[in-house]
Amino acid sequence: MAGEYRFSFGPWNIHEGADPFGPPVRDSIEFGKKLKMYKKLGFDGVQFHDDDAVPDMDNLGPEQIVKKAKEVHSMLESEGLVAEFVAPRLWEDARTIDGAYTSNDPACRQYARDRSRRMLDIVDALGTKLVVVWYAREGTYIREAKDSKVAVGQIAEALNDMLHYNTEVKIAIEPKPNEPMDQTYIPTTGHAVAIGYLTDYPDRVGVNIETAHVVLAGLDPSDEMGFALAYNKLFSVHLNDQNGLKFDEDRAFGAVDLRRAFNQVRILDQHDYGKDGQFVGLDVKAMRTQKQEVATKHLANSRTIFLRLVELVRSLDKNKVEKLIQQRDYEELDMLIINHLMGK
Ligand code: XUL
Ligand code: MN
């Protein structure tokens, strides 16, 4: 089965293990060395934040940014890799403290628009046509701080600005309900799909669904994927896992809830996800306890789990499933799935 799906991850998925309560516990690995790991781990696509490709880009001019991004493109080519997408990192700069596109300060909103245009130049230089936008700080800690109707309009305007600036790209919105904010304005797939229709190019706005984010919203990842597929808007996925309503854990795919992972693979496989070139993207973190030499296992394991689940999806006895649905014997269907997952 391997080979039918192409897999991607971002360089931030090989990381030093710092968390809000403690410092790094592993050495940094330079970008070029990370690139060399991709193929060995079974991956063909690289996900980027704009400054993963061009560090310190806020202090560079537009030409310098493009030059640097082209160098990264050559590095990808020599490793036989492609860029899957570029995402603007709009949550670290001092000008994004109160949000980026929805900041209450017009100068900060302008910074976000300008940075997004530079990000789109990087998209071109890296040879991809996909943008992912995660609206990190586009929300509030307290409701009175912003006006949600105005904010949604600002997010739509910013999307429009990007869609007009680079007419080749598609934008996949990555919804997340909280963290770092108490509440964000685009918390679910439905919100992401809907806001596309406030732009001049609804067909070019879709979603990137991350398992952990959906769980944090109290929803089911496979159903969210089904919703996006019904609108032809599942441009990418960020598979991982999440143990309930906690911080965003980014655990290895299937490591917490194998059946939930099975159902994500099932909806994707049944509807030919990937046939138009979409990647199976991961957004997974190694546990902080993991030692340096074995800090990429979460990536290889997630891919292996995905491929094994593809086999299980395809070997499930569809006639039995159909019969039990007709009989409305969902208890037996439940047992059939459990047995199948347990290899019985
Ligand atoms: C944040 C998250 C991001 C996006 C890309 O929770 O998942 O890494 O995937 O900006
Ligand atoms: Mn993600």
Mean pLDDT (the chain) is 98
- pTM for the whole structure: 0.97
- Ordered by start, the domain boundaries in the chain are 2-314
**Lookup result for tokens 């732009």:** 199
What is the best residue among 174, 211, 216, 241 to mutate for testing ligand 1's pocket, by most ligand atoms within 8 Å of CB? 174
Ligand 1 atom, smallest distance to 47 CA:
5
Q: What is the dihedral of CA 308, 273, 86, 219, to 10 degrees?
A: -80
- Cβ-contact 251, 210 below 8 angstroms: no
Any idea what the Cα angle at residue 64 is, between residues 60 and 68, rounded to 5°? 110
The whole-angstrom separation of Cα 132 and Cα 260 is 24
What is the best residue among 90, 210, 242, 251 to mutate for testing ligand 1's pocket, by most ligand atoms within 8 Å of CB? 210
Indicate if ligand 1 lies below 6 Å from the C-beta of 84: no
Q: Which of 35, 41, 117, 43 is nearest to 77 (CA)?
A: 35
pLDDT in tens, 53-101: 999 999 999 999 999 999 999 999 999 999 999 999 999 999 999 999 9
> Which residues of the chain carry a pLDDT beneath 50?
1-3
Could you give phi then psi for residue 246, rounded to 5 degrees? -130, -155
The whole-angstrom separation of Cα 253 and Cα 300 is 10
Q: Which of 155, 160, 157 is nearest to 201 (CA)?
A: 160
The whole-angstrom separation of Cα 45 and Cα 7 is 6
H helices of the chain, in order, are 31-41, 50-53, 62-79, 106-126, 148-165, 189-196, 211-216, 221-230, 258-270, 297-315, 318-326, 330-341
Indicate if ligand 1 lies below 6 Å from the C-beta of 174: yes
Query: C-alpha distances in angstroms, 301 versus 84, 97, 236, 252, 255?
Result: 20, 36, 20, 7, 9
Ligand 1 atom, smallest distance to 248 CA:
6
Ligand 1 atom, smallest distance to 89 CA:
10
Residue 2 confidence (pLDDT): 45
The whole-angstrom separation of Cα 120 and Cα 87 is 9
Residue 77 confidence (pLDDT): 98
**For residue 61, how far is its CA from the centre of ligand 1 (angstroms)?**
26
What is the best residue among 89, 134, 176 to mutate for testing ligand 1's pocket, by most ligand atoms within 8 Å of CB? 134
Q: Considering every ligand atom, which ligand is closest to the CA of 184?
A: 1
Indicate if ligand 1 lies below 6 Å from the C-beta of 283: yes
- Cβ-contact 303, 106 below 8 angstroms: no
Indicate if ligand 1 lies below 6 Å from the C-beta of 249: no
Q: Of the CATH numbers 3.90.980.10, 3.30.1330.60, 3.60.20.10, 3.20.20.150, which one belongs to the domain with range 2-314?
A: 3.20.20.150
Residue 1 confidence (pLDDT): 44
Q: Considering every ligand atom, which ligand is closest to the CA of 13?
A: 1
Any idea what the Cα angle at residue 102 is, between residues 99 and 105, rounded to 5°? 80
How much helix, strand and coil, in percent to the nearest 5, is found in the chain? 50, 15, 40
Ligand 1 atom, smallest distance to 136 CA:
1
Query: C-alpha distances in angstroms, 10 versus 82, 233, 246?
Result: 12, 22, 23
**Lookup result for tokens 């094994």:** 308
- Close Cβ partners of 203 (under 8 Å, ≥ 6 residues apart): none
Active site residues: 49, 52
